[in-house]
Structure 1
Amino acid sequence: MKKEELFERIRGKVIVSCQAVPGEPLYVEEKSVMYLMARAAKQAGTPMIRTSSIRDVLAIKEETGLPVIGLVKVQYEGFESYITPTMKEVDDLVAAGSDIIALDCTQQKRGDGKTVSEFITEVRTKYPDAILMADISTYEEGIQAWKLGMDIVGTTMSGYTSYTEKTDGPDYELVKRLAAAVDIPVIGEGRIHYPQQAVEMLDAGAFAVVVGGAITRPLEIAQRFISAVDAAQSR
């Protein structure tokens, strides 16, 4: 599918993130089960799935036929970044047929000694026709990714880097600033817990929104309910 078609498909929509990594309740070593979450998301009407790992990219594309934003979460020694941090993961995602490839484009430490600018440039040079999404945490990172030729900017990492504030809700202000400054889609992502917050992200200027934990992470959902009830009963 061409970039313009993909973008039109997701404009103003909710992209559902279906991910499970080792250590999480829905991660099964023997076989991916995320395709079941993706099946539910498709039935609900999502136009696209965001997922982590090669096996989940393959399983979800086979199950749903939907386009996929693919990434690989891996922690290498010396790296603070963990979302598709090296060319190996990019190569694997291209081979798996990811329609969009998400990269960590923050200023976090890279163990290979490369700057994020050098890494983005290498990826774009090797895969000039790939649709690339920059996962960023600050306005400056988003502007840099845009200038370096990324196709999409997502606020995925806001609040998850050591130099950004951790808040309980979405970073509406970052979405608003980026949407006013760049001519590529800005995807609102991160801590969207309730449907109204997704609407507010779009109102802030997001081209589309990604919602994950509030839909596809039962441990996180259960903890939110239990914590609220426990807090109320301890008053």
Structure 2
Amino acid sequence: MVNLVDRFKGKLIISCQAPADSPLHQPEMIAAIAQACVNQGAVAVRIDSPAHIEAVRNLLPDIPIIGLWKRMYEGSDVYITPQFSDALAVVEAGADIVAIDATARPRQGGENLADIVRGIHEQTGKLVMADLDTYENAVLAAKAGADILGTTLYGYTGETGNLTPPGFDLLAKFVQDFDLPIICEGGIGSPGMMLKAFEIGADSVVVGTAITGVDLLAQKFIQAL
């Protein structure tokens, strides 16, 4: 697993996802998009839901997958792999790393972040990527045993909703204060922004919409008319 993280250093990870109402949301389509990204040099892919992870794993048996499952539960705003059972499903589908919401927001059923991280480690042996929004939550995630810290949720929570990703300032604090692999994710819209993240000290960068968000990119152009 340590060697797996070493493979990411200085390299690009691409998030391959599509809206639920898009024809690209079909698992075989996401798998094809993932293969196209890997063909061009992506060292890993970030994939949402067991069905999509399984399709990508079947097509790309050797490529590292950061897996997650976006699910909404009543009474909680946590939606990235919110429950331990969701994490297990992600691993069973073929993920090498499990991405989870690691904010301090309450989870449905009262599950504890540290218990979820420990359960993933003990029952699956997989690494955990903490999707974060603030420095304070990064401290808690590190104490909980997360293996990787990401800026994924900067700008997407109630506490950071007034901020616009990418969270370069947050990234700089992570790099300075944590002896863990740091991934910059969220709002990386150009190669120049990616390079800036690496200059700040990110071990790896995840790009999603700017590369694979066909629906949102088309919508942006149409709306401009």
Q: Could you tell me the TM-score, scaled by structure 2's length?
A: 0.92
Alignment partner of 2:109 out of 105, 108, 112: 112
Aligned residues: 224
Alignment of 1:64-213 (within 5 A): 64=60, 65-127=62-124, 129-213=125-209
Question: How far apart, CA to CA, are the structure 2 residues paired with 1:68 and 1:146?
Answer: 22
Of 9, 25, 28, the match for 1:27? 25
Name the aligned partner's letter for residue 5 of structure 1.
Answer: N
- State the shift of 1:89 in Å: 0.8
Say which SS state the counterpart of residue 149 (structure 2) adopts.
strand
Letter matched to residue 120 of structure 1: V
Give the residue type in structure 2 aligned to 1:78. G
Question: After the TM superposition, which of the residue ranges 215-224 and 170-179 deviates more from structure 2?
Answer: 215-224
**Partner Cα distance (1:70, 1:120) in 2:** 14
Contact 1:170 1:190 (C-alpha < 8 Å) held by counterparts: yes
Change (3 A) 1:21 1:74: farther
| Secondary structure at 1:112 match in 2 | helix
Change (3 A) 1:111 1:169: closer
Letter in 1 for 2:108: G
2: CA distance, partners of 1:221 / 1:21: 12
Query: What do you get for the CA RMSD once the two structures are aligned?
Result: 1.8
Q: CA deviation at 1:115?
A: 4.0
Q: d(CA) in 2 for partners of 1:216 and 1:78?
A: 31
Larger radius of gyration: 1
For residue 208 of structure 2, what is the amino acid of its counterpart? G
Percent identity of paired positions between Structure 1 and Structure 2: 35
* Structure 1 residue 50 displacement after superposition: 0.5
Q: 1:78 to 1:169 in 2, by over 3 A?
A: closer
Question: Alignment partner for residue 35 of structure 2, among 30, 39, 45?
Answer: 39
> What amino acid maps onto 1:191 in structure 2?
G
* Structure 1 residue 188: Cα displacement: 0.1
Q: Structure 1: which 5+ runs fail to align?
A: 231-235
Residue 123 of structure 1, CA deviation: 3.9
2:106 is matched by which residue type in structure 1? K
Unaligned runs of 5+ residues in structure 2 are: none
Instruction: Quote how far apart the aligned CAs of 1:93 are.
Output: 1.6
Offset of residue 130 of structure 1 = 1.7
After alignment, is 16-25 or 156-165 more displaced?
Answer: 16-25
Give distance in 2, aligned partners of 1:109 and 1:48: 30
Which amino acid in 1 is paired with 2:38? K
Match of 2:3 among 5, 17, 25: 5
Distance 1:22 1:226 in 2: 20
Residue 73 of structure 1 deviates from its aligned partner by: 0.7
Q: Match of 2:65, as an amino acid? A: V
What is aligned with 2:16? 18
Aligned to 1:233: none
Question: Hey, what's the Cα distance between the residues in 1 that align with 2:96 and 2:121?
Answer: 15
